C-alpha cells in the first residue's frame, strides 16, 4: 500500500483479442491530492453554509408569520370581548 507521500498510480489494462491495449496511467502526488480535497471540502462547506443560511431565513420568516398570527388573534379576541356586555 503506497504511503501518502508516494504517488498514487491507477492503471487500467484491458485485453482484447489477446493483445494488451495501451495503459492508461493517472498519477497524483500528495500536494495535488491535498489541494483537490481542500478545494472540494471548501465547496462542500460553502454549499452547506448557503443552505443553512437559507434554512435560517425560512425559520425566521415562519416565526414572524406565527407571531403576527398570534398577535392578530389576540387583537380580534380583545375586540370581540369589548363588545360583550353583562347587563
Question: Looking at the 3D structure of the chain, how many domains does it have?
Answer: 1
DSSP string of 3-52, one letter each residue: -TTSPEEEEE--EETTEEPPPEEEEE-HHHHHHHHHHHHHHHHHHHHHHH
Residue 16 falls within a domain, yes or no?
yes
Higher pLDDT, 72 or 3: 72
Residue 16 lies in domain = 8-72
Residue 41 falls within a domain, yes or no?
yes
Query: What average pLDDT is seen over the chain?
Result: 75
Give the tens place of pLDDT for each residue, 39-72: 888 888 999 999 999 999 999 999 999 999 999 9
Residue 59 falls within a domain, yes or no?
yes
State the pLDDT at residue 9.
Answer: 39
State the pLDDT at residue 50.
Answer: 93
State the pLDDT at residue 27.
Answer: 56
This model's pTM is above 0.85: no
> What single-letter DSSP state applies at residue 2?
-
State the pLDDT at residue 59.
Answer: 94
Residue 80 falls within a domain, yes or no?
no
Residue 17 falls within a domain, yes or no?
yes
Amino acid at each position: 500500500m503506497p504511503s501518502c507521500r508516494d504517488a498514487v498510480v491507477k492503471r487500467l489494462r484491458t485485453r482484447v483479442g489477446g493483445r494488451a491495449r495501451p495503459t492508461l496511467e493517472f498519477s497524483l502526488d500528495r500536494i495535488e491530492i491535498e489541494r483537490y480535497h481542500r478545494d472540494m471540502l471548501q465547496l462542500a462547506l460553502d454549499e452547506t453554509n448557503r443552505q443553512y443560511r437559507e434554512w435560517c431565513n425560512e425559520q425566521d420568516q415562519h416565526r414572524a408569520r406565527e407571531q403576527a398570527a398570534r398577535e392578530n388573534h389576540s387583537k380580534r379576541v380583545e375586540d370581540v370581548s369589548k363588545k360583550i356586555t353583562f347587563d
